[in-house]
Amino acid sequence: MELMNSGYPTPPAATAAAGAELGQYLTFVLGGDAYAIGILSIKEIIEYEGVRAVPMMPAYIRGVINLRGAAVPVLDLHVRFGMKAAEVSKRTCIVIIEVEVNAERTVIGLLVDAVSAVVDIPASGIEPPPTLGAKIRTDFMRGMGKINDRFVILLDVNHVLAADEVSTLVEASNS
């Protein structure tokens, strides 16, 4: 799938020359906000073509897809982050990622509104997650990336779900 232009151009090479180590991130839209995931976690991006519901799963599990013969659970990040369930549009995509659970790699799909672009963000352009109080979780955030005076929420894919939740997903997709 071709990545769509988000209006987030890659920072100039001069930023990298200033001694900052660059990281590459896939940016995407979720509920009107910009998010990003490190590209090393991403296996592929596929168009949304329907998801098979699995009974008795948490609300944030949209279901499973058949990805070349393997059942892959698909998470609705809207619901996972406390928003209304995602509405499917022409730009809706599933980002296939690998997460590490108990020293094992697991494949999961993330339902997103639209994929934007792959961008370079220097380490100096990443702020730590904000402290929002004890009742608001920020453990799923790697930080806040700054791209041309705009912030993007950088997700830590290994913490978007707790280990026991991923184990439940793996068991469900294998049955």
Distance CA(104)–CA(116), nearest Å, equals 29
Q: Average pLDDT, whole number, for the chain?
A: 78
The residue behind tokens 């059942």 is 71
Residue predicted with more confidence, 10 or 157: 157
Domain boundaries defined on the chain: 13-174
pTM of the model: 0.76
pLDDT band, residue 139 (cuts 50/70/90): low
Three-state DSSP state, 145: strand
Q: How many CA atoms lie within 13 A of 74 on its CB side?
A: 27
Instruction: List the structure tokens of 147.
Output: 């791209």
Per-residue pLDDT tens for 58-106? 888 999 999 999 999 999 999 888 889 889 999 999 999 988 767 778 8
The answer to whether 154 and 143 are in contact (CB under 8 A) is yes
Handedness of CA 110, 76, 62, 116 (dihedral sign): negative
Distance CA(103)–CA(97), nearest Å, equals 16
Q: What does the DSSP 8-state code read for residue 78?
A: H
Fold (CATH) for 13-174: OB fold (Dihydrolipoamide Acetyltransferase, E2P) (2.40.50)
